[in-house]
Chain A
Protein backbone atom coordinates (compact mmCIF):
# COMPACT_ATOMS: atom_id res chain seq x y z
CA UNK A 1 0.00 0.00 0.00
CA UNK A 2 1.35 3.41 -0.96
CA UNK A 3 2.23 5.67 1.97
CA UNK A 4 2.73 9.38 1.26
CA UNK A 5 4.35 11.68 3.82
CA UNK A 6 4.66 15.43 3.66
CA UNK A 7 7.13 17.29 5.81
CA UNK A 8 6.83 19.74 7.44
CA UNK A 9 3.15 19.67 8.42
CA UNK A 10 3.21 23.44 8.84
CA UNK A 11 5.63 26.17 7.84
CA UNK A 12 5.71 29.89 8.52
CA UNK A 13 8.14 32.12 6.62
CA UNK A 14 8.67 35.84 6.00
CA UNK A 15 7.76 37.27 2.63
CA UNK A 16 10.47 36.97 -0.01
CA UNK A 17 12.00 33.78 1.32
CA UNK A 18 12.67 30.80 -0.92
CA UNK A 19 11.26 27.57 0.48
CA UNK A 20 11.06 23.83 -0.14
CA UNK A 21 8.18 21.50 0.62
CA UNK A 22 8.85 17.78 0.76
CA UNK A 23 6.84 14.74 -0.28
CA UNK A 24 8.07 11.19 0.22
CA UNK A 25 6.47 7.93 -0.88
CA UNK A 26 7.08 4.24 -0.26
CA UNK A 27 6.18 2.66 -3.62
CA UNK A 28 8.14 3.98 -6.61
CA UNK A 29 5.84 2.29 -9.16
CA UNK A 30 4.03 5.49 -10.05
CA UNK A 31 2.75 6.99 -13.30
CA UNK A 32 2.95 10.60 -12.23
CA UNK A 33 2.97 12.97 -9.27
CA UNK A 34 0.81 16.04 -8.95
CA UNK A 35 1.15 19.03 -6.61
CA UNK A 36 -2.01 20.83 -5.53
CA UNK A 37 -2.82 23.99 -3.64
CA UNK A 38 -5.84 24.22 -1.35
CA UNK A 39 -7.14 27.49 0.04
CA UNK A 40 -9.32 27.39 3.18
CA UNK A 41 -12.83 26.17 2.40
CA UNK A 42 -12.00 25.58 -1.24
CA UNK A 43 -11.28 22.68 -3.56
CA UNK A 44 -7.89 21.65 -4.89
CA UNK A 45 -6.10 23.59 -7.60
CA UNK A 46 -3.54 21.73 -9.68
CA UNK A 47 -0.11 23.38 -9.69
CA UNK A 48 2.25 20.97 -11.44
CA UNK A 49 2.16 17.48 -12.90
CA UNK A 50 5.35 15.44 -13.28
CA UNK A 51 5.26 12.27 -15.33
CA UNK A 52 7.29 9.33 -14.00
CA UNK A 53 9.80 9.73 -16.84
CA UNK A 54 10.46 13.39 -15.97
CA UNK A 55 12.77 14.84 -13.34
CA UNK A 56 11.21 18.27 -12.89
CA UNK A 57 8.54 20.72 -13.98
CA UNK A 58 8.44 24.49 -13.67
CA UNK A 59 5.64 27.01 -13.64
CA UNK A 60 6.46 30.60 -12.82
CA UNK A 61 7.95 30.73 -9.32
CA UNK A 62 7.24 27.05 -8.72
CA UNK A 63 9.57 24.16 -9.48
CA UNK A 64 8.78 20.56 -8.67
CA UNK A 65 11.29 17.71 -8.83
CA UNK A 66 10.83 13.95 -8.78
CA UNK A 67 13.33 11.28 -7.75
CA UNK A 68 11.59 7.93 -8.00
CA UNK A 69 14.60 5.93 -6.86
CA UNK A 70 14.65 7.68 -3.50
CA UNK A 71 10.87 8.05 -3.28
CA UNK A 72 10.93 11.82 -3.03
CA UNK A 73 9.50 14.93 -4.60
CA UNK A 74 10.10 18.55 -3.67
CA UNK A 75 8.16 21.70 -4.44
CA UNK A 76 10.35 24.78 -4.53
CA UNK A 77 8.70 28.18 -4.20
CA UNK A 78 10.86 31.16 -5.05
CA UNK A 79 10.42 34.63 -3.57
CA UNK A 80 7.38 33.67 -1.52
CA UNK A 81 4.43 36.08 -1.24
CA UNK A 82 1.54 36.34 1.25
CA UNK A 83 -0.76 35.12 -1.53
CA UNK A 84 1.12 31.82 -1.50
CA UNK A 85 -0.35 31.05 1.92
CA UNK A 86 -2.34 27.84 1.56
CA UNK A 87 -2.10 24.10 2.12
CA UNK A 88 0.03 22.26 -0.41
CA UNK A 89 -0.74 18.62 -1.18
CA UNK A 90 1.13 16.05 -3.23
CA UNK A 91 -0.64 13.12 -4.85
CA UNK A 92 0.70 10.05 -6.63
CA UNK A 93 -0.94 8.30 -9.58
CA UNK A 94 -0.52 4.55 -9.70
CA UNK A 95 -1.90 1.59 -11.60
CA UNK A 96 -5.63 1.69 -12.24
CA UNK A 97 -5.42 5.48 -12.03
CA UNK A 98 -5.49 5.38 -8.22
CA UNK A 99 -4.57 8.80 -6.79
CA UNK A 100 -3.12 8.80 -3.24
CA UNK A 101 -2.59 11.98 -1.25
CA UNK A 102 -0.27 13.10 1.50
CA UNK A 103 -1.54 14.98 4.56
CA UNK A 104 -0.39 18.35 3.24
CA UNK A 105 1.88 21.19 4.36
CA UNK A 106 0.16 24.32 5.65
CA UNK A 107 2.19 27.32 4.50
CA UNK A 108 1.91 30.81 5.95
CA UNK A 109 3.87 33.64 4.34
CA UNK A 110 4.03 36.67 6.61
CA UNK A 111 4.18 40.18 5.11
Chain B
Protein backbone atom coordinates (compact mmCIF):
# COMPACT_ATOMS: atom_id res chain seq x y z
CA UNK B 1 0.00 0.00 0.00
CA UNK B 2 1.43 3.37 -1.01
CA UNK B 3 1.89 5.89 1.77
CA UNK B 4 1.12 9.60 1.95
CA UNK B 5 3.08 11.43 -0.72
CA UNK B 6 4.25 15.01 -0.31
CA UNK B 7 6.23 17.35 -2.53
CA UNK B 8 8.54 19.11 -2.60
CA UNK B 9 10.72 17.75 0.22
CA UNK B 10 12.58 21.02 0.66
CA UNK B 11 11.89 24.60 -0.31
CA UNK B 12 13.82 27.82 0.31
CA UNK B 13 12.12 31.12 -0.49
CA UNK B 14 12.54 34.77 0.34
CA UNK B 15 10.08 36.50 2.62
CA UNK B 16 7.04 37.92 0.85
CA UNK B 17 7.26 35.25 -1.85
CA UNK B 18 4.58 32.61 -2.30
CA UNK B 19 4.92 28.84 -2.03
CA UNK B 20 2.68 25.80 -2.51
CA UNK B 21 2.87 22.29 -1.11
CA UNK B 22 1.17 19.22 -2.51
CA UNK B 23 -0.16 16.11 -0.76
CA UNK B 24 -1.58 12.87 -2.08
CA UNK B 25 -3.17 10.81 0.72
CA UNK B 26 -3.52 7.08 0.96
CA UNK B 27 -6.18 5.86 -1.44
CA UNK B 28 -9.61 5.75 0.16
CA UNK B 29 -8.71 7.92 3.14
CA UNK B 30 -11.44 10.50 3.53
CA UNK B 31 -9.75 12.56 6.25
CA UNK B 32 -6.73 14.70 5.36
CA UNK B 33 -4.74 16.92 7.73
CA UNK B 34 -2.12 19.62 7.26
CA UNK B 35 0.17 20.25 10.23
CA UNK B 36 2.90 22.81 10.85
CA UNK B 37 5.84 21.66 12.95
CA UNK B 38 8.31 24.27 14.14
CA UNK B 39 11.71 22.93 15.18
CA UNK B 40 11.59 21.44 18.66
CA UNK B 41 7.80 21.53 18.92
CA UNK B 42 4.95 19.13 18.35
CA UNK B 43 2.88 19.34 15.16
CA UNK B 44 0.13 21.97 15.17
CA UNK B 45 -3.01 21.43 13.13
CA UNK B 46 -3.55 23.97 10.36
CA UNK B 47 -6.54 22.48 8.56
CA UNK B 48 -8.51 19.25 8.42
CA UNK B 49 -10.60 18.05 5.48
CA UNK B 50 -13.30 15.41 5.38
CA UNK B 51 -13.51 14.45 1.70
CA UNK B 52 -13.42 17.90 0.05
CA UNK B 53 -15.05 19.79 2.91
CA UNK B 54 -13.23 21.71 5.65
CA UNK B 55 -13.85 20.31 9.15
CA UNK B 56 -11.47 22.51 11.13
CA UNK B 57 -9.39 25.49 10.03
CA UNK B 58 -9.50 27.40 13.29
CA UNK B 59 -5.69 27.62 13.55
CA UNK B 60 -5.04 28.47 9.91
CA UNK B 61 -3.71 32.04 9.44
CA UNK B 62 -6.24 32.81 6.77
CA UNK B 63 -4.70 36.15 5.82
CA UNK B 64 -1.76 34.31 4.25
CA UNK B 65 -2.49 30.57 4.24
CA UNK B 66 -4.99 28.77 2.05
CA UNK B 67 -5.70 25.13 1.32
CA UNK B 68 -7.95 23.16 -0.94
CA UNK B 69 -8.80 19.56 -1.59
CA UNK B 70 -10.45 19.30 -4.95
CA UNK B 71 -12.37 16.09 -5.69
CA UNK B 72 -11.66 14.88 -2.17
CA UNK B 73 -8.27 13.39 -3.03
CA UNK B 74 -5.11 15.51 -3.49
CA UNK B 75 -4.62 18.67 -1.50
CA UNK B 76 -2.52 21.81 -1.82
CA UNK B 77 -1.45 24.22 0.90
CA UNK B 78 -0.37 27.71 -0.13
CA UNK B 79 1.37 30.52 1.71
CA UNK B 80 1.24 34.02 0.26
CA UNK B 81 3.13 36.09 1.26
CA UNK B 82 5.56 34.09 3.39
CA UNK B 83 7.06 35.41 6.61
CA UNK B 84 10.24 34.38 8.39
CA UNK B 85 8.19 32.69 11.13
CA UNK B 86 6.63 30.34 8.57
CA UNK B 87 9.91 28.41 8.47
CA UNK B 88 8.86 24.94 9.58
CA UNK B 89 8.11 21.43 8.39
CA UNK B 90 4.67 21.06 6.84
CA UNK B 91 3.23 17.61 7.36
CA UNK B 92 0.31 16.01 5.59
CA UNK B 93 -1.55 13.07 7.08
CA UNK B 94 -4.57 10.98 6.20
CA UNK B 95 -6.81 8.51 7.95
CA UNK B 96 -9.77 6.28 7.32
CA UNK B 97 -13.02 6.36 9.21
CA UNK B 98 -14.35 2.84 9.46
CA UNK B 99 -17.75 1.71 10.69
CA UNK B 100 -16.25 0.98 14.11
CA UNK B 101 -14.34 4.17 14.62
CA UNK B 102 -11.24 6.11 13.75
CA UNK B 103 -8.17 4.30 12.50
CA UNK B 104 -4.51 5.23 12.50
CA UNK B 105 -3.31 8.48 11.00
CA UNK B 106 -0.49 8.08 8.48
CA UNK B 107 1.96 10.86 7.77
CA UNK B 108 4.01 11.86 4.76
CA UNK B 109 7.71 12.75 4.91
CA UNK B 110 6.92 16.45 5.16
CA UNK B 111 8.10 19.55 3.34
CA UNK B 112 10.81 21.56 5.07
CA UNK B 113 10.29 25.26 4.32
CA UNK B 114 12.97 27.84 4.98
CA UNK B 115 12.05 31.50 4.59
CA UNK B 116 15.05 33.83 4.33
A-to-B contact residues, CB < 8 Å: 4, 6, 31-32, 34, 36, 41-46, 49, 51, 89, 91, 93, 96-104
CB–CB B102/A101 < 8 A: no
* SS of B interface (majority): strand
Chain A residues near B72: list those with CB within 8 A.
Answer: none
Given contacts A43-B109, A104-B42, contact A99 B93 (CB under 8 A): yes
Closest Cβ of chain A to B99, distance in Å, is 14
Given contacts A41-B112, A89-B42, A89-B43, contact A97 B104 (CB under 8 A): no
CB–CB B45/A31 < 8 A: no
Question: How long is the Cα–Cα vector from A45 to B4 in the complex, in angstroms?
Answer: 11
Question: How long is the Cα–Cα vector from A102 to B41 in the complex, in angstroms?
Answer: 8
Question: How long is the Cα–Cα vector from A93 to B95 in the complex, in angstroms?
Answer: 11
Cβ of B22 under 8 Å from chain A? no
CB–CB A99/B45 < 8 A: yes
Closest Cβ of chain A to B7, distance in Å, is 13
Chain B residues near A46: list those with CB within 8 A.
Answer: 104-107
Chain B residues near A104: list those with CB within 8 A.
Answer: 41-42
Q: A93-B105, A103-B41, A104-B41 are in contact. List 19 more A-B contacts (CB 8 A).
A: A31-B102, A32-B101, A34-B105, A36-B107, A42-B109, A43-B108, A44-B43, A44-B93, A46-B104, A46-B106, A46-B107, A89-B43, A93-B102, A97-B31, A97-B50, A98-B56, A99-B93, A100-B45, A102-B42
Interfacial residues of chain B within 75-116, with CB under 8 A of chain A in the complex:
91, 93, 95, 97, 101-110, 112
Interfacial residues of chain B within 19-55, with CB under 8 A of chain A in the complex:
31, 33, 35, 41-45, 48, 50, 55
